[in-house]
Amino acid sequence: MSLQQNISLKPYNSFGIEARAAQLLTLEHTRELSALGKSLTAAGDRLVLGGGSNILFTRDVETTVILNRLMGISQVKESPDHVWLKVAAGENWHRFVLHTIAAGLSGIENLSLIPGCVGAAPMQNIGAYGVEVKDTIEEVEGWHWDEQRFTILTNEECRFGYRESIFKQELKNKVLITAVTFRLNKQAQLNTSYGAIREQLAKMGVAEPSVRDVSDAVIAIRSSKLPDPAQIGNAGSFFKNPAIPSSQFLALKERFPELPSYPAPDGRVKIPAGWLIEQCGWKGYREGDAGVHALQALVLVNYGNATGAQIWQLSRKILDSVSEKFGVALEREVNIW
Ligand code: FAD
Ligand code: NAP
């Protein structure tokens, strides 16, 4: 465990926002959590960070930022069809995906190239190209700050939903995720339902894709469409895609026949937030150093020296204009500090 005082968080968030932390504690071993004793038990005392790729700092952190750098991958179980891997929360997500592919396992290849750490994956049940991480999670282990003990949540107890989990709700800031156990398939079970994946595989000349082909296709699509945080600050999709009641969808579809849609659970209809934002004229918009990405309206960007408050204000204006034009209330996906 190392402790530094008065540290800039700019290198620790993919938006590249300047904010300061009173203390930065780098966590490398789970035993350090019990050693911390009751020193960080009040929720306001701490903020846990993995890769900082899903957070917007709108102010300084007056207390302690805990940088999760718990490392290690181990096989805990094997059956004829599956392998269970327990992965420490500080492992880089994409490196872990590549590790599973190299081991001949399938299940998370569609989630290639998502930035961040393994410990944050259950937080919002990361998802992309028709796959959600919840379908491979067996259990999540964490340190419960109030109870001062390690706890294990089964998949069901995590209450996963669309970009949602118990860790963003009841257990928000109460549990530091220390490890995640994944159940992966020995036989490839590919999901190429997304048009973009099928098109990319065709472009690659692949008729019968392997797990690695699907991963390569996802990497190629993402690299061509999404801004690389190393080049331009962003936190991926800033808003969630709303799932609206079908009656509301039908009324909207009458007014806007081009409105794209996808089936969602409970008879609702998912509509792409990026399309709604684009129709309101925001795509490529720039206000100082805060902007909306020119290729993907769902991604807000920092061209250099935007403040978190400026990005937040821009997101407020976008929410208001989408609500006014479509009567749809967008929800922010990015965590706001
Ligand atoms: P952080 O930003 O460090 O933390 C996010 C939240 O989780 C914070 O509230 C933090 O306090 C909390 N947290 C982090 N670690 C822990 C822990 N160990 N215990 C308890 N709480 C914790 N997301 C998707 O779902 N799908 C995508 O396809 C996708 N694409 C992206 C593309 C780009 C270019 C970018 C920049 C982001 C993208 N994201 C995507 C968002 C982001 O990468 C994921 O949400 C990722 O899981 C965040 O990981 P992180 O370690 O960076 O989390
Ligand atoms: P896209 O292909 O332009 O599609 C726009 C939206 O339509 C997506 O968000 C997706 O919803 C939905 N969609 C498209 N095809 C679908 C299908 N066959 N079935 C169901 N829903 C479909 O999206 P994109 O922006 O390039 O992103 C591609 C994928 O990467 C998406 O899954 C997206 O969620 C993920 N991604 C996430 C983030 C993030 O930060 N959360 C950032 C970048 C990319 P879903 O989002 O529900 O899949």
Tell me the CA–centroid distance for residue 207 and ligand 1, in Å: 33
Torsion of the alpha carbons at 223, 229, 231 and 234, rounded to the nearest 10: 110
What pLDDT score was predicted for residue 318? 98
What pLDDT score was predicted for residue 178? 98
pLDDT bracket for residue 37 (50, 70, 90): low
Q: Is residue 193 within 6 Å of ligand 2 at its C-beta?
A: yes
What pLDDT score was predicted for residue 214? 98
Q: Is residue 274 within 6 Å of ligand 2 at its C-beta?
A: yes
> Residues with catalytic annotation?
163, 237, 333
Tell me the CA–centroid distance for residue 246 and ligand 1, in Å: 30
SS3 state at 323: helix
CA distances from 148 to 36, 61, 175 (A): 10, 23, 10
Query: What percent of the chain clears pLDDT 90, i.e. is strictly above it?
Result: 93
In ligand 2, the atom with minimum distance to the C-alpha of 260 is 7
In ligand 1, the atom with minimum distance to the C-alpha of 133 is 25
Q: Do 334 and 54 form a contact (C-beta atoms < 8 A)? A: yes
Report the nearest-CA residue for atom 16 of ligand 1: 120
Q: For 57-130, where are the alpha helices, taking DSSP H only? A: 93-102
User: How far apart are alpha carbons 90 and 306 in whole angstroms?
Assistant: 28
Q: Per residue in 214-270, pLDDT tens?
A: 999 999 999 998 999 999 999 999 999 999 999 999 999 999 999 999 999 999 999
Q: Per residue in 274-294, pLDDT tens?
A: 999 999 999 999 999 999 999
DSSP 57-92: -SS-EEEEEEEE----EEEEEE-SSEEEEEEETTSB
Q: Per residue in 57-68, pLDDT tens?
A: 999 999 999 999
Residue 41 clears pLDDT 90, i.e. is over it: no
Which residue segments constitute the domains of the chain, with CATH numbers given?
Answer: 2-68 (3.30.43.10), 73-185 (3.30.465.10), 233-336 (3.90.78.10)
What pLDDT score was predicted for residue 226? 92
In ligand 1, the atom with minimum distance to the C-alpha of 126 is 25
AA identity, residue 317:
K
User: How far apart are alpha carbons 125 and 167 in whole angstroms?
Assistant: 10
User: How far apart are alpha carbons 233 and 224 in whole angstroms?
Assistant: 16
Tell me the CA–centroid distance for residue 256 and ligand 2, in Å: 20
In ligand 2, the atom with minimum distance to the C-alpha of 221 is 26
Task: Pull the structure tokens for residue 72.
Answer: 């290690």
Report the nearest-CA residue for atom 39 of ligand 2: 237
CA distances from 158 to 122, 166, 265 (A): 8, 5, 18
Q: Do 109 and 170 form a contact (C-beta atoms < 8 A)? A: no
Tell me the CA–centroid distance for residue 273 and ligand 2, in Å: 10
What is this structure's pTM?
0.96
AA identity, residue 44:
G
SS3 state at 177: strand
What pLDDT score was predicted for residue 317? 98
Ligand 1 pocket list (CB less than 6 A): 14, 47-55, 68, 89, 114-117, 119-121, 123-124, 126-128, 176-177, 226, 229, 234-236, 335
Q: Per residue in 107-141, pLDDT tens?
A: 999 999 999 999 999 999 999 999 999 999 999 99
Tell me the CA–centroid distance for residue 205 and ligand 1, in Å: 33
Task: Pull the structure tokens for residue 293.
Answer: 């990405």
> What backbone torsions phi and psi does residue 153 show, to the nearest 5 degrees?
-110, 130
